[in-house]
Structure 1
Amino acid sequence: MTQQIELLTRLMPPHPGAGETVDWGPLEQSWGVRFPGDYKEFIARYGAGAISDYVVIFSPECRAEDGAEPAFQGVEEETLNAQQLWSAKAPGGAGSDRVIVWGFDSSADILCWHVAGDDPDGWPVMVWNQDDVAWQEYPCGVVEFLCRVLDADFDECPLGGLTLWGNAAPRFLHRDEERRLRASGLDPWTGELDPFAGMFGA
C-alpha cells in the first residue's frame, strides 16, 4: 500500500496543508467495518477534496444515530443512495453484500467499495457508470484505481468523462483550500478571478 500511495504522490503531489487526521476507532465502530488501509493513507496525505475539478473524494463521518438524518452529501447519505442501486442492479444479485461510497465524479458516476469479506484491503472498487446504467468491478483498492486511471492503465476509462484518463498533470485540492480560494474571489481551478464570487453566499 505504501508503494502505491508514493506512486500517487509522484503523479499528483498534495498541496501544503492537505491531509487530515482521523480518529478511525469510533468511526469504524459506527460503521461496523474497518476501512481499507490504502484509503486511510490517502486521507492522511490528501484528505477530502477534488481531483482536477472532476472526481470528489470523501472523508467519512460517523454514521448518524438511530432516527437522525445522515450528513448532507456525506458518505452515509451517498451510500444509502448507492445501496438502492446495488440492490436493484448488482451483478449476479446483491445477496447480503453491500457497497460503501468513497467518491463520485462530475459524470454522475458513483465510486464505491464492494464490501465482500472481512478483509477491507481485499475489497474491490465498484463503479456505478451512469452512462451504462450498470456496475463495474475493478479488483484493486482506491489508490491503485486512481493511479491506473491517471496512467490510462485499464482496457478503457472506468469513468464517464476523460478528464483524468491518462492525465499527466492532475491536481488535487482539499475541500477547505477550494473554499478558501473561492472566498478570496478566485476560481480554485484556474487561479483567475471568479466572476461569480459572492453571488451565491459562502
Structure 2
Amino acid sequence: MELTQVTIHGLLTQLGAGKGYMYLPGDVDPQSLTDLLAARFGAPRTLVLDGFTDPTVDDSRGAALLVPFEDRAVTIRAWAYGGQWVGTGTARDGEEIERPVLVVARRETPELPAFAPGEDVDWMDRLIRITGWTEPPPRPDAALAEVESRLGTALPGDYKSMVATFGEGAFDAFLTLNPEPWASLREDGLLIWAGTEHEDVHCWRVEGDDPDRWPVVVRSFDGEDDLTFDCRTAEFVCRILTDAHHPFTMARCFDTHWFMNYGGND
C-alpha cells in the first residue's frame, strides 16, 4: 500500500466519524504512517510502547483507542481532533501476528460549569478543560523570562501560562499560539501573540505599565481593520472557542475543542 495523505484520508473516511479500527497490510511502515498523521494532526501522545500501556492513560487521554485490541496492542500513538481520537501503531491480530493498525474512537470533554456575569473566573483552568489538555507543561518559566528580556517588556501573565502549559501549536488547528510574541507591528503599539489561517493577527495594544490590562486587538489580514476587546488573553481564547455569537467564533466549526501541539511532549 502506498502511503499518502490522500490514502490516509480515505482510510479515515472508511472508519467513519464514530469508532472503528482496521488492520493494515504488512507492507505498511508504521513509522511512515505515524509521520503522515503527525503532519496532519500535530505531535502524538504515546499510549502503548513495546506492549506496555502508559498507566496514566484514561478516557481523557485516548483510552478508548485501546478497547478493540484488549491486551494485543504493541505500540499505539494517539491524536485528539475535535470530537474524535485517532490512533495508529501496531497490534497483534487473531493469529498473534503483529500488524500495522489504524483506529478511531469518540472523544468527549467534560461539560463546563456555568458562571454568572461578573463572576471571577479562572480562564486558564477553563481553557484547559475546554481543550481536554492533559499533557505536561512543555515550556519552562526561564524560557519565557528570556523572551521578556529580548522584547524589553513584561508580558501578560495568562499568556505566559498558556505558552508554558500548551507550548507551540494551534487551538482547533486554526488559531496558532506564538511561543514568542512578534514585534513586527510595534510601531503601531501592537505585539502579536497569535494568528489564524485567514491571516488575521491577534495582538495586544501595549499601553500602560500593567501587561495584564493590555486589551486584545484583532487586526484583519488586509491591515485595514482593528477590533479591540477589553479582556485578557485566556478569556478571549475561551470565548472564541465556545461563544457562537463572538465575531471571531470557532464554535460553529467544532463542538469539542483541542490543542494541536507542534513540538510534542514524549
The interval holding the TM-score normalised by the smaller chain is 0.5 to 0.7
Which of residues 5, 18, 21 is equivalent to 2:140? Answer: 21
Question: Closer, same or farther in 2 for the Cα pair 1:163/1:4, shift >3 Å?
Answer: closer
- Is 1:12 paired with 2:139? no
In the alignment, the residues of structure 2 paired with residue 137 and residue 40 of structure 1 have an alpha-carbon distance, to the nearest angstrom, of: 21
- Is 1:173 paired with 2:251? no
- Is 1:34 paired with 2:121? no
Which of residues 36, 39, 43 is equivalent to 2:163? Answer: 43
Contact kept, 8 Å, 2:167 with 2:263, in 1: the verdict is no
Question: Closer, same or farther in 2 for the Cα pair 1:121/1:59, shift >3 Å?
Answer: same
Question: Which has the larger share of strand?
Answer: 2
- Is 1:124 paired with 2:211? no
Q: Which residue of 2 aligns with 1:65?
A: none
- Which AA in structure 2 matches 1:117? G
Contact kept, 8 Å, 1:151 with 1:167, in 2: the verdict is no
Structure 1 unaligned blocks of 5 or more: 61-74, 87-97, 181-202
Structure 2 unaligned blocks of 5 or more: 1-119
Where 2:264 maps in the other structure, the secondary structure is helix
Contact kept, 8 Å, 1:42 with 1:143, in 2: the verdict is yes
Show structure 1 runs of 4+ deviating over 3 A.
162-167
Question: Closer, same or farther in 2 for the Cα pair 1:145/1:166, shift >3 Å?
Answer: farther
Where 1:177 maps in the other structure, the secondary structure is coil
Q: Which has the higher contact order (CA 8 A, sep 6+)?
A: 1
Worse-superposed segment, 143-152 or 22-31: 22-31
Which of residues 236, 239, 258 is equivalent to 1:145? Answer: 236
TM-score scaled by length of structure 2: 0.49
Q: Which residue of 2 aligns with 1:58?
A: 178
| RMSD (Å) for aligned C-alpha atoms | 2.6
In the alignment, the residues of structure 1 paired with residue 209 and residue 135 of structure 2 have an alpha-carbon distance, to the nearest angstrom, of: 35
Contact kept, 8 Å, 2:130 with 2:258, in 1: the verdict is no
- Which AA in structure 2 matches 1:45? T
Q: Which has the larger radius of gyration?
A: 2
TM-score scaled by length of structure 1: 0.63
